Amino acid sequence: ATPPAAPALPTPPGKPAPPQPGPWCASPGPPPTMWEPNGTGPALQVNVLSYNLFWWHLFGIQGGAGGSAGKLINKGGHPPFDFVGFQECEDPVRVMTDAGVAADYEIYQGEHAICMGYRHAAWKLMARGQADVAEDQPKQYYGRRSAQWMRLRHTDTGKFVLFVNHHGPLPLNSGGVCGGKATAHNILKIIAENGEDGDAVILLGDFNQVPQSPTGLELQTRLTKVFSGVFMGGIDNIFTNVKPPYVSSRNLGPGGSDHDAISAMLQLGPSLSPPPAKPAAPAAKPVPKNRGTCACDCKWAKKPKGCDRPDDSSCCWQQCCAGDQDNAAGVAVHVLK
């Protein structure tokens, strides 16, 4: 017979009870540090797309709406997208076929209905994977949430990119059962464990969290927000370790989804030069209190908008525009005091 289990020993007086295990996704402590992208070599512009496809409705109920999502991708992909990240995605080949570009991309269907792909003519895949980072709260539960990643090398320049796609937990802005900071930490851990020093990091997706949420704010301690959509206050986002300015960022519209597709183009290598600063306006000259004596023909000042020009500090402007024009003769002499 199996002997009975020994009773648990009571906690000695004055000694705190051992901590109870928290949720699987808890991540205490500071987030991992983040490296700078390699800024040497030729400049390379990289175009990325994030798009929640609203699959259950757009494809499940509307049957794809005549390929509306693909048409949006085709229209917005000029120049072509280097990387695409889809959320609520159950058949990425169908979407890219509707866009007319399926032959140009390597596409991967991930768990939890997220998909990602890259343009194989320009990039070589070095590694890829996926890991859970969060879980929905019971009151709005669909399951665990993950981050899908791939590390790639540009075939012409040799530059490396770690590309990450994420669909975040519910309810909105809650961070799921482990909270927003833990979700951000878990995403950053995936980046730290799978990227290498000098990689350009591009993280995008439907986070179900706005940039001002705990998840968004914690991510921004290590990455820079490039762009946000407008749906639900901005839950679709693009983050990077590439410093601004950026070449472009665009809201491409919904294309039949409830979310807008968003895109951004970043420059890797030498930083994109900021636009030249506008020259400072010349300092206004002090207006003299005593402008002396002058003989002025004030007929010009009586014309419509005659005195709309700025005060030029002259005796005649003071006489014709700030004096008593109704009583002025055609030519008058005034001594200003």
Q: Which tens digits make up the pLDDT trace of 180-222? A: 999 999 999 999 999 999 999 999 999 999 999 999 999 999 9
Which residue has better confidence, 272 or 294? 272
Q: Specify the range with the lowest mean pLDDT, choosing from 35-49, 144-158, 176-190, 318-332.
A: 318-332
Give all strands of the β-sheet with 248-253 in edge-to-edge order: 105-109, 114-119, 83-87, 44-52, 261-268, 248-253
10 Å CB burial of residue 124 (0-12, 13-18, 19+) is: exposed
Q: What is the pLDDT of residue 283?
A: 62
DSSP 298: G
Which residue has better confidence, 118 or 20? 118
What is the rounded distance in angstroms from the CA atom of residue 186 to the CA atom of residue 82? 25
Answer whether residue 3 shows pLDDT above 60.
no
Average pLDDT over residues 226-249: 97
pLDDT tens digits along 16-39: 544 445 699 999 889 999 999 999
Evaluate the CA torsion angle 205, 207, 209, 214 in order and state its sign.
negative
Find the angle CA(110)-CA(199)-CA(53) to the nearest 5 degrees.
30
**Region class of 306: left (phi > 0), else alpha (psi between -120 and 50), else beta:** alpha
Q: Of 85, 59, 54, nearest to 262 (Cα)? A: 85
Q: Specify the range with the lowest mean pLDDT, choosing from 52-56, 76-80, 220-224, 314-318.
A: 314-318
AA identity, residue 299 = K
Answer whether residue 119 shows pLDDT above 90.
yes
Q: What is the pLDDT of residue 211?
A: 98
Indicate the pLDDT class of residue 308, thresholds 50, 70 and 90.
Answer: confident
Q: Specify the range with the lowest mean pLDDT, choosing from 6-15, 102-111, 265-274.
A: 6-15
What is the rounded distance in angstroms from the CA atom of residue 236 to the CA atom of residue 134? 17
What is the rounded distance in angstroms from the CA atom of residue 238 to the CA atom of residue 202? 7
Q: What is the pLDDT of residue 31?
A: 94
- Name, in order, each residue with C-beta under 8 angstroms of 270's C-beta and a sequence gap of 6 or more: 39, 40, 43
Q: How many residues does the chain have?
A: 337
Answer whether residue 312 shows pLDDT above 80.
no
Indicate the pLDDT class of residue 292, thresholds 50, 70 and 90.
Answer: low
Share above pLDDT 70 across residues of the chain, in percent, rounded to a whole number? 82
Q: Of 150, 181, 244, 202, nearest to 32 (Cα)? A: 181
Mean pLDDT of the chain: 88
Query: Cβ distance 214 to 179 under 8 Å?
Result: yes
